Structure 1
Amino acid sequence: MQPRPDDRAASALRFLTEIIAWVATPWALASYSWVLAVLSVVVLIGLPTLFATPGDKPQVMIPVPGWVTIALVLLQLVAAVVSSWAAWPAWAAVVVTGLAVVCLFTERRRWLWLLAADRARGRRTA
């Protein structure tokens, strides 16, 4: 299996987008239901904390394939973009959308590595 790519810049952008999702999503949902607002934070923070691909994080509580980690990142990106458009002024939502697009671009190497790790694990167990 290939070593994990150096993604320090990508991880900083990913983390910034996650923080935006953690703030914007409950902000957007609070006018509908405080329960949904709290639940959104639990989901957006809790799922990536519990589920991780081995080798991607130092500690993995519940190991999952790479595609699950990719899906969790996509969830954060979508939550940040959709929620920013629902809760904030258009100029802020445009900035968040641009950040998410850049994040998609910078995540490519990591995602390819995660998918390659899935294929390598599949060959070993087959």
Structure 2
Amino acid sequence: MLDPTTVSPNLTARGRIPSILRFSTELIAWIATPWALADYSVILAIAAVVLLIGLPTLFSTPGDKKQTLVPVPGTVTIGLVVLQLSAALISPWLSWHPWLAILVTALTLVTVLAELPRWRWLLNAPGRAHRG
């Protein structure tokens, strides 16, 4: 059995639906953000995608993902999720039809509610892998 103090709800059965919601919202951020920025700068649009995908891939809290490349405190992981959610919330309003932006806003709010148990765990999670 997994120890709930060392393993995030993200890696348990109860984390499945929040993970699906989070990934759906991230996917929207990855699509809508460059779409919204492309009119201003293609380079900025590409940079946004690199940051939105690259930062969470590189930095993670030990126990929250199966593999951690660069261990960071839980507050950093929460900040990266909030960045993704913010991009998913704002970008559709700048580039998509309002009815679609309303649906994305609702999805984002549901995702935040679903993420709360994980965020509680992340606030108390270790910041670096123990070496010994």
Q: TM-score, normalised by structure 1?
A: 0.91
Runs of 4+ in 1 over 6 A off after TM superposition: none
Query: In the alignment, is residue 12 of structure 1 matched against residue 16 of structure 2?
Result: no
Structure 1 unaligned spans of 5+ = none
Give 1:75 deviation, angstroms. 0.3
Per the alignment, residue 22 of structure 1 pairs with 30
Q: TM-score, normalised by structure 2?
A: 0.87
The whole-number CA distance in structure 1 between the counterparts of 2:83 and 2:103 is 18
Structure with more of its chain in helix, by fraction: 1
Per the alignment, residue 103 of structure 1 pairs with 111
Per the alignment, residue 92 of structure 1 pairs with 100
Give 1:116 deviation, angstroms. 1.8
Per the alignment, residue 58 of structure 2 pairs with 50
Per the alignment, residue 61 of structure 1 pairs with 69
Deviations 1:80-120 (A, max 9, x none): 111000010000000000000000000000000111224xx
The whole-number CA distance in structure 1 between the counterparts of 2:46 and 2:121 is 33
What value does the CA root-mean-square deviation take over the aligned residues?
1.6
Give the one of 75, 78, 87 matched to 1:79: 87
The whole-number CA distance in structure 2 between the counterparts of 1:41 and 1:116 is 29
Per the alignment, residue 38 of structure 1 pairs with 46
Structure 2 unaligned spans of 5+ = none
